[in-house]
Amino acid sequence: MSEKAVSDHVGESKSHAPTDSNSVNLKDPQPSSTFDPAAEARLRRKIDFYILPTVALMYLFCFIDRANIGNARLAGLEADLNMSGYDYNTLLSVFYISYIVFELPSNIACKWIGPGWFIPGLTLGFGICSIGTAFVHTFDAACGVRFLLGVFEAGMMPGISYFLSRWYRRRELAFRISMYLVMSPLAGAFGGLLASAILNLDSFGSLNEWRMIFAIEGIITVGIALLALATLTDRPETARWLSAEEKALAIARLVSESEHTGQTVVLDKLDRTKLLRGILNPVVQATSWVMLFATVTVQGLAFFSPTIVRTIYPEKSVTQQQLQTVPPYIVGAFFTMLIPYLSGRFDRRLIFFIGTPLFMMTGYIIFLATDNARARYGATFLIASGSFPLGVLCNAHGAASVVSDTARATAIGLVVMFGNIGGLIATWSFLPFDGPNYPIGNGLNLATGACCFVISVGLWWWSRWDNARRDGEEEQGNAARMLDGLGQRQVEDLEWRHPYFRWRM
């Protein structure tokens, strides 16, 4: 691609809104831009270095600050707050109410304010909430703090995925998303280790036992938020660490992926039509349901793995039980990186959508079929390996199934919102009367794994069918006729309805 062409793309992108530029042929079904692979590789490495470590750290402590309540439960939380019956499940549910309600609004606000400010601001907010949890003395106060925690954490997963979509091509995105979402299983492992280390302290100021977990981890989170406020940047144009040529390349290669569907800029203005296109996209809708069912298992493991381990190894000490939760998460983290890497390597996602639920289903079949402690503990490795990668794939597939930046904000927001509905269901999946073997909880999770599998097969078949239908329309000339007489704004608003758009599989 010539320097002038790259410069033209940069000029168009700086407006953040569609223009009347003729630099892109709206009816040309083939992307016109080619780039030097070596230059792209250098740019990717630079973006990886400056962005991924910071967002990964933020999400690590986002998940720790959410899931450390499971560790606090083992350390005396329920007794100190006079909790009984279903109070623990209620405490988890309060978090998910705000988490679900604020999901989509938070991601729209992320686009409006800019992720470079918004995401660190959220991190600062939930870090303060974690510190506040250390000072609650009643169940009602704990519920209030958990509700606020949900408000601030609601925008983290969709916000970071949306933020990364401003920097990476679609085929690059799944692996980069995995590099921060891998913090979810690592949080299960690291959170258990950190909680064990904290509980070995005699006190932290005036705090002791479970209160120390929330205070120390919250303070670390606040420090990470302040670091992110100083280092993150909204988009390539504002990155001080990119040269002018690198900024031009970063913008132009993203624009090139959507040229044939009429998009001429990387960042468009908020547009109601595009917002709705992201929500009503049929592939995004199906992907959201996969995310919902997968998250039932992911969050169930996060909240109840210490409890499950306690039922398998009741003779071990609390510290030993905490440590037993670590190995399954390490294996889950490995697969969280491996499967998205293979997805990006082969530029395929739906085949992995179909394969990973089989691991989840096998794990829960073992849970239901035997009381053997070693077999059930081994099953947790299969469950973690199958469920954690699905969250990465769902985020990436939602982002790849729309065209504009605006639609991407709501598409990712919807996928994650459905996932958090699954998290709410997970809080009621392992109930006290169902212990110690939890046949109802394990049966529910077997059913959610089966639903992931069935929906994924249907989504793969429908995507192939609709792409073939669109190819037929193009061959018959109907696609070009559909665009005749439309202005640029109208063409852009077609989004995934554009006749030259094809579903990525």
Q: Supply the pLDDT for residue 346.
A: 86
pLDDT-wise least confident of 116-125, 355-364, 418-427: 418-427
pLDDT at 316 over 80: no
> Is the Cβ–Cβ distance between 65 and 153 less than 8 Å?
yes
Length of the chain: 505
Mean per-residue pLDDT for 457-475? Answer: 91
Task: Say how far apart CA 396 and CA 353 lie, in whole Å.
Answer: 12
Identify the architecture of domain 53-237+251-497 in CATH. Up-down Bundle (1.20)
Higher pLDDT, 397 or 3: 397
Phi then psi dihedrals of residue 477, to 5 deg? 85, 0
Checking if the pLDDT of 29 tops 60, the result is no
Q: Answer whether residue 21 shows pLDDT above 50.
A: no
Residue closest to 340 by CA, chosen among 184, 209, 208, 447: 184
pLDDT at position 264: 62
pLDDT(159) > 80: yes
d(CA 380, CA 189): 13
The reported pTM is: 0.79
Degrees (nearest 5) of the Cα angle 434, 436, 439? 50
Check pLDDT > 70 for residue 465: yes
Count Cβ atoms below 10 Å from residue 50 Cβ, excluding itself.
17
What percent of the chain stands above pLDDT 90? Answer: 36
Q: Taking residues 249-262, what's their average pLDDT?
A: 75
Residue in the block written with tokens 């590789």: 41
Residue 275 has pLDDT above 70, yes or no: yes
> What is the domain partition of the chain in residue ranges?
53-237+251-497
Q: Which of 28-32, 64-68, 115-119, 434-438 has the lowest mean pLDDT?
A: 28-32
Output 485 or 157, whichever has higher pLDDT. 157
Question: What gap in Å lies between CA 445 and CA 50, rounded to an integer?
Answer: 38
- Rounded to whole angstroms, the Cα distance separating 392 from 403 reads 19
Confidence category of residue 431, pLDDT binned at 50, 70, 90:
confident
Task: Detail the DSSP E strand segments found in 154-200.
Answer: none
Exposure of 429 in the CB half-sphere (CA atoms within 13 A)? 29
Report whether pLDDT(14) > 80. Answer: no
Q: Which residues have a Cβ under 8 Å from the Cβ of 356 and sit 6 or more positions away?
A: 339, 385, 386, 387, 389, 390, 393, 452
Determine the residue type at 444: L
Q: What is the pLDDT of residue 454?
A: 97
The whole-number average pLDDT for the span 20-49 is: 65
Q: So what's the pLDDT on residue 380?
A: 87
Least confidently predicted of 30-34, 274-278, 315-319, 466-470:
30-34
Q: Give per-residue pLDDT as tens, 205-232.
A: 888 788 998 999 999 999 999 999 988 8
* Average pLDDT over every residue of 353-373: 91
The pLDDT value given to residue 254 = 82
Residue 197's contacts (CB-CB under 8 Å, 6 or more residues apart) are: none
Contacts of 431 (CB under 8 A, 6+ apart): 86, 89, 440, 441
Asked if 71 contacts 214 with a C-beta cutoff of 8 angstroms, the reply is no
At 350, the pLDDT band (50, 70, 90 cuts) reads very high
Mean pLDDT, the chain, whole residue set: 84
Q: 8: how many CB neighbours lie within 10 A of its CB?
A: 18
DSSP states of 243-292:
-HHHHHHHHHHHHHTTGGGT---SSPPP-HHHHHHHHH-HHHHHHHHHHH
| Mean of pLDDT values over 93-99 | 88
pLDDT in tens, 117-147: 999 999 999 999 999 999 999 999 999 999 9
pLDDT in tens, 364-385: 999 899 888 788 888 889 998 9
Q: Mean pLDDT throughout 245-264?
A: 76
Q: Residue 136 has what pLDDT? A: 92
In this predicted structure, the answer to whether residue 5 has a pLDDT above a threshold of 70 is: no
Residue 24's pLDDT is 35
pLDDT of 400: 87
Contacts 24+ apart (CB under 8 A), 272-277: 273/493, 273/495, 274/404, 274/406, 274/407, 274/492, 274/493, 274/495, 275/108, 275/406, 275/407, 275/409, 275/410, 276/410, 277/402, 277/404, 277/407, 277/493, 277/495, 277/496, 277/497
What integer pLDDT is reported at residue 25 of this predicted model?
A: 36
Which pLDDT value is given to residue 259?
58
What integer pLDDT is reported at residue 2 of this predicted model? 39
Residues 175-187: what's their mean pLDDT?
84
Three-state DSSP at 207 gives strand
Asked if 175 and 160 count as a contact pair (C-beta separation under 8 A), the reply is no
pLDDT of amino acid 30: 38
pLDDT, position 151 = 94
